[in-house]
Amino acid sequence: MSAAAAAGGDRFVELSAEDMRTRLTEALHIYVTAMRYPPSAMHHRGPTWLSHASREGWRGVAALDHRGGMVGVAYGYRGAPGQWWYEQVNHGLLETGDAAGARHWLRDYFELTELHVLPKAQGHGIGEGLLRMLLADAEGADVLLSTPEGPSRAWRLYRRVGFKDVLRDYRFAGDSRPFAVLGRTLPLD
């Protein structure tokens, strides 16, 4: 990993696909902790995260504390037909009668697949640092993401950097919670 930026006691670094494999357990721990999933979710998500790292346009970034421990992680890739998330969002938009939205948003986008910061490290700009670094060289005209509905630091961050509603109160297969799909044009300001 090579240091790309520094903020406070944290370093933001780019992750290669190999870095993601090497630090997968650490990254998944951040994911289950931030999302309040049971630890067993790590076993189910690991293979998915590794397969994502081989997709076109994959980029990953991490925030490291002063000891080199990971406190935040984010990654994404080019969205495309046939991918699970693409198909879920396309279905949701068509189900609401927004075929024009589906054509616009799903034509050329970078999927911000995961962005998580350990709760104890939240509120210090780490999420925004990860977001900006990840999207700085992202491929696509737009960026899309999904996040659980309800007030949170993530919501405030996404609104602050210009994300708009694409699809609201959507329930993805396998998760009973309502999610919002948000999008904006690239590059970030």
Sign of the dihedral through C-alpha 146, 15, 132, 34? positive
**Residue 158 annotated as catalytic:** yes
Q: What's the rounded Cα separation, in Å, for the pair 27 and 61?
A: 10
Catalytic, out of 31, 75, 158, 170? 158
Which residues are designated catalytic? 158
